[in-house]
Amino acid sequence: MSQAAASSIELRTSPHLRSPKTVDVIMRNVVYALLPICAFAVWNFGISALALIVVCTGVAVLTEHVYCVFAKKPTTVGDWSVVITGILVALILPPALPLWMAAVTSFISVALGKIFFGGLGYNVFNPALVGRAFSQVAFTLPMTTWTPAQLPGRFFEFIPTSLTIPFLEPGSLQGWLSSVAPDGWTGATPLQLMKSEQTGTEVSQLLFGSVAGSTGETAAVLILVCGLYLVVRKMMNWRITFSILVTAALFSWLFYVIDPSQYPDPVFMLGAGSLMLGAVFMATDMVSSPETRLGVWVYGVFIGVMVVVIRLFGGLPEGVMYAILLGNAVSPLISRVTQPKTYGAVRKNRKQAKEGV
């Protein structure tokens, strides 16, 4: 040790130990948990899905990095949170979406959903959902054009609309679909079928993902398993997922009991659409969910109810995105009214509390 260092006194205060679970470690593990879902998406929808995931993630990371360069601060890409946003954006977009639209969605997610609010830790809404909500409005038709899963030529051939020239409308998929799609293909997701024709979908298809839908939302069981990995490593709040799923199941079961011919059964409710992806990976975003233990339950129940209400009574077949965005919006309020009860708190009457005694 040098003489200068020896003469200076360095005092540290406790605690001298630190949990190894830092933000970047948690975020990196969420990325790991998303990778099997990405792999399944590629297997399900082919190279279009692969290109979608690569483009979205790339644009997301680039957007944050370029912003940091312009803002003259050290890049925050290293905390991995932007990678999660990029991957999630890809997973909730339709596989046939033109790549340039996906890039715009990803850019909006990070720029408007995250950086605009102040970056990691300050975003009110889940960034990926902000981007998707934007595109839902901006690119309505491509955002609701679905293609069948597990087409034979998917690993060698792009879905034609994927490679649309930037800033041009994609062409119609009708001709291509009639040549490749299986017989009886209606171009609808299970939820759309349910909404318009009250037709269910086979449970095994819902659970294992061989249905039309957004790129990474279809395999309910796989998503649950990936979420379980995070729960076991204590990097995800299982209470949120659990309360959303249970609420959605119970609430939809209520309607199913009243009129089984008009309303879907709870299993369909849980397996169809993006509920599983939303409940496991979107609603559990730490930043935009409440931090108190009771608040987390309230938040989950709120989202679960909203999902069912929008799906059954709203104008849209799918309600997970808006349900979670609404949940994000009320989460600061939920946190505020569900402050933990302090150990040994002395009951005060109102007057004393006001005076801050």
Residues that bind other proteins (CB under 8 A): 1, 6, 9-26, 79, 119-122, 237, 286-293, 296, 335, 339-346, 356
Kindly give the interhelix angle for 127-138 and 99-110, rounded to the nearest 10 degrees: 130
Kindly give the interhelix angle for 238-258 and 220-232, rounded to the nearest 10 degrees: 150
> In this complex, which beta carbon is closest to other proteins, that of residue 315 or of residue 356?
356
> In this complex, which beta carbon is closest to other proteins, that of residue 122 or of residue 155?
122
Q: How far is the CB of 192 from other proteins (least distance, A)?
A: 35
Q: How far is the CB of 55 from other proteins (least distance, A)?
A: 26
Taking the C-alpha atoms of residue 321 and residue 84, their distance in angstroms, rounded to an integer, is 17
> In this complex, which beta carbon is closest to other proteins, that of residue 259 or of residue 354?
354
- Residue 101 CA, distance from chain mean position: 18
* Count, residues in the chain: 357
> In this complex, which beta carbon is closest to other proteins, that of residue 12 or of residue 350?
12
Distances (CA, A) of 197 to 262, 275, 287: 10, 20, 39
Residues contacting 324, CB < 8 A, separation 6+: 126, 129, 278, 282, 283, 303
> In this complex, which beta carbon is closest to other proteins, that of residue 104 or of residue 296?
296
> In this complex, which beta carbon is closest to other proteins, that of residue 69 or of residue 336?
336
Q: How far is the CB of 347 from other proteins (least distance, A)?
A: 9
Return the SS3 of 307. Answer: helix
Taking the C-alpha atoms of residue 70 and residue 89, their distance in angstroms, rounded to an integer, is 24
Q: How far is the CB of 132 from other proteins (least distance, A)?
A: 21
**Cβ(325)–Cβ(293) under 8 Å?**
no
The DSSP result for 176-205, as a single string, is: HHHHHSPTT--S--HHHHHHHH-----HHH
Taking the C-alpha atoms of residue 347 and residue 69, their distance in angstroms, rounded to an integer, is 52
Residues contacting 168, CB < 8 A, separation 6+: none
Taking the C-alpha atoms of residue 334 and residue 289, their distance in angstroms, rounded to an integer, is 9
Taking the C-alpha atoms of residue 165 and residue 82, their distance in angstroms, rounded to an integer, is 26
> In this complex, which beta carbon is closest to other proteins, that of residue 121 or of residue 166?
121
Q: How far is the CB of 333 from other proteins (least distance, A)?
A: 14
> In this complex, which beta carbon is closest to other proteins, that of residue 182 or of residue 356?
356
Residues contacting 208, CB < 8 A, separation 6+: 219, 220, 221, 222
Q: How far is the CB of 331 from other proteins (least distance, A)?
A: 9
Q: What letter would DSSP give residue 112?
A: I
Q: How far is the CB of 226 from other proteins (least distance, A)?
A: 19
> In this complex, which beta carbon is closest to other proteins, that of residue 161 or of residue 241?
241
Q: How far is the CB of 357 from other proteins (least distance, A)?
A: 10
CA-based radius of gyration for the chain: 23
Q: How far is the CB of 173 from other proteins (least distance, A)?
A: 40
At 288, which amino acid appears?
Answer: S
